[in-house]
């Protein structure tokens, strides 16, 4: 049986980090491809990429993949499937792909794992009030009655609110099971029974914000979720509540959040913001009650090889004529990031 031809298409430098030498060996054993040939652009490509695209049955994509426009698809008449070794496919899978009947799979599930792990760490640290305590300790540099100051904090029967039963949200709830925490869930697509089976109590968004001492956002970025956490939800939060966002910056009304953080009434762990990089003068960089990280909750370092393993498994299924384990359909995009 002749191996299908495949082409890698992603941003510069990504392919070198995605696959280890061993993974590259498996890739070339599965499909007819040159791992050193990576298409950074598909519209008006060079002759080598154009020839590979014309014969490709399978496209292996990752971050920075260019969009598969009608013109690109016309130049790829044999293309039947796209294996995306990352999360969202909204940046490069176009309506023309669905019209062509191209099969699509995404490593969103694999990429959810490190985000959930980051969130778990943030939740447990927030429960202990670690960030403000560490900043205060740095200022005091002297003995202090920390037990008295941190009275009321801790991770026993603390209420944690999860906004969105996405892949990441569900994984976070799963990771929280060993701990003595009360978990609330807001998701309009999940009923009370399904929430209970996940390990959470279903509730409305405003009630979740009012009852939870830690609120973690895991909803997809959609027009309906823009500023899902707005002034009313922030005002409902109890003093000292920690807001965690590893989803997208647009889900929180930043203009409403900033005064709450500057006043010290609320705390935040923000891996994403709107804009993605706050301006140099933003108070977010210096506030002692804010942990600001540069969108690193998702796969990085050796975690990227998990995405490579996922891609290889899906490629193997395609070669064997078996359905993808984690397919993406047009209907999924209305509820997924």
Distance between CA atoms of residues 64 and 49, nearest Å = 16
The pLDDT value given to residue 333: 75
Residue 296: pLDDT band with limits 50, 70, 90: very high
Spell out the alpha helix ranges (H) of the chain: 14-18, 21-30, 47-55, 70-74, 95-100, 108-127, 130-140, 146-149, 167-176, 192-198, 205-211, 231-236, 254-262, 304-320
pLDDT of 279 strictly over 90: yes
pLDDT of 7 strictly over 80: yes
* Enzyme catalytic residues: 248, 276, 295
The pLDDT value given to residue 331: 84
Average pLDDT over residues 12-23: 96
**What number of CA atoms fall less than 13 Å from residue 117's CA on the CB side?**
11
Least Cα distance to 108 among 263, 328, 267 occurs for: 328
The SS3 of residue 242 is strand
Taking CA atoms, 165 is separated from 5, 162, 184, in Å, by 37, 8, 11
Residue 56: pLDDT band with limits 50, 70, 90: very high
**Cβ atoms 297, 271 nearer than 8 A:** yes
Distance between CA atoms of residues 198 and 166, nearest Å = 12
The pLDDT value given to residue 337: 63
**Cβ atoms 127, 158 nearer than 8 A:** yes
**Cβ atoms 254, 118 nearer than 8 A:** no
Residue 234: pLDDT band with limits 50, 70, 90: very high
Q: What are the backbone dihedrals phi and psi of residue 303, each rounded to the nearest 5 degrees, phi first?
A: -65, -25
pLDDT digits (tens, 9 = 90+) for 192-227: 999 999 999 999 999 999 999 999 999 999 999 999
**Cβ atoms 65, 10 nearer than 8 A:** yes
The pLDDT value given to residue 44: 87
pLDDT of 1 strictly over 70: no
**Percent of the chain whose pLDDT exceeds 90:** 94
pLDDT, averaged across the chain = 96
Average pLDDT over residues 137-144: 93
pLDDT digits (tens, 9 = 90+) for 75-133: 999 999 999 999 999 999 999 999 999 999 999 999 999 999 999 999 999 999 998 89
Question: What is the value of pTM for the model shown?
Answer: 0.92
For 247, other C-beta atoms within 10 Å of its C-beta total 27
């Amino acid at each position: 049986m002749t191996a299908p031809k495949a082409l890698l298409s992603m941003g510069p430098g990504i392919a070198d980090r995605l696959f280890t030498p061993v993974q590259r060996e498996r890739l070339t054993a599965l499909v007819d491809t040159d791992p050193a040939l990576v298409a950074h652009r598909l519209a008006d490509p060079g002759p080598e990429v154009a020839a590979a695209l014309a014969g490709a049955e399978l496209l292996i994509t990752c971050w920075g993949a260019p969009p598969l426009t009608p013109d690109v698809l016309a130049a790829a008449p044999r293309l039947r499937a796209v294996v995306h070794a990352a999360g969202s496919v909204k940046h490069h899978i176009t309506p023309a792909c669905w019209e062509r009947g191209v099969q699509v799979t995404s490593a969103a599930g694999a990429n959810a794992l490190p985000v959930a792990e980051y969130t778990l760490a943030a939740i447990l640290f927030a429960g202990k009030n670690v960030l403000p305590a560490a900043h205060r300790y740095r200022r005091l540099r002297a003995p202090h009655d920390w037990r008295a100051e941190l009275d009321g904090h801790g991770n026993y029967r603390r209420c944690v609110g999860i906004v969105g039963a996405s892949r990441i949200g569900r994984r976070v709830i799963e990771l929280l099971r060993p701990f003595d925490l009360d978990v609330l869930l807001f998701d309009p697509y999940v009923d009370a029974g399904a929430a209970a089976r996940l390990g959470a109590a279903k509730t409305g968004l405003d009630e979740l914000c009012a009852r939870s001492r830690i609120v973690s956002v895991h909803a997809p970025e959609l027009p309906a979720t823009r500023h899902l956490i707005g002034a009313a939800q922030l005002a409902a939060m109890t003093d000292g509540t920690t807001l965690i966002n590893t989803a997208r910056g647009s889900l929180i009304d930043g203009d409403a959040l900033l005064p709450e953080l500057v006043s010290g009434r609320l705390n935040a762990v923000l891996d994403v913001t709107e804009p993605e990089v706050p301006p140099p003068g933003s108070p977010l960089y210096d506030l002692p009650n804010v942990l600001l990280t540069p969108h690193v909750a998702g796969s990085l370092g050796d975690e990227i090889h998990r995405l490579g393993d996922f891609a290889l498994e899906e490629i193997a299924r395609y070669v064997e004529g078996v359905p993808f384990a984690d397919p993406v359909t047009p209907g999924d995009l209305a509820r997924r990031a």
